[in-house]
Structure 1
């Protein structure tokens, strides 16, 4: 799966890593629903850090289309709330 972190570029994520990312996504969604800003910020950074860690960076000139777009680390809770789908930021 090709993932773009807004403002950073694209990485390729293996199918095996999606369960961990979905768990972090669920925690992020729960923090948003509870309106807990500090927990939201921690969960967003944890999710993005994990994507960076498990993902293989694609070259800047790659033309691969992103299957998933994640917000930047400095996104507000409202901005992330608008990006949430029925299954959070990461479907599955």
Structure 2
């Protein structure tokens, strides 16, 4: 799967990593629901770091269709809420 981190670029990520990412995504969603801003900041950073660590960066001149778009690390809780409005899920499908 091709994943874009807003403001950074794209990485190719094997589907086998989504179990680990979904755990962080579930935690992030709980923190968003409770308004836990410090927890949200920490978990978003962990989620993005896991994507960077587990994925293979695509060249900057490569522009593949992204199947998943994640917010930048400095995105606010409200910005991510707006991104997910009406989704009913977190950032990672499944």
What are the Cα deviations for residues 34-86 of structure 1, in whole angstroms up to 9, with x where unaligned?
A: 00110010010010000000010001111211001000000000001112222
Query: Structure 2: which 5+ residue stretches go unaligned?
Result: none
1:90 aligns with 2:83: no
Partner of 2:53 in structure 1?
53
Which of 77-86 and 47-56 deviates more? 77-86
Tell me the TM-score normalised to structure 2 length: 0.94
What is the aligned residue count? 92
What secondary structure sits across from 2:75 in the alignment?
coil
Partner of 2:11 in structure 1?
11
> Over aligned residues, Cα RMSD in angstroms?
0.7
Tell me the TM-score normalised to structure 1 length: 0.96
Q: Which runs of 4+ in 1 moved over 4 A?
A: none
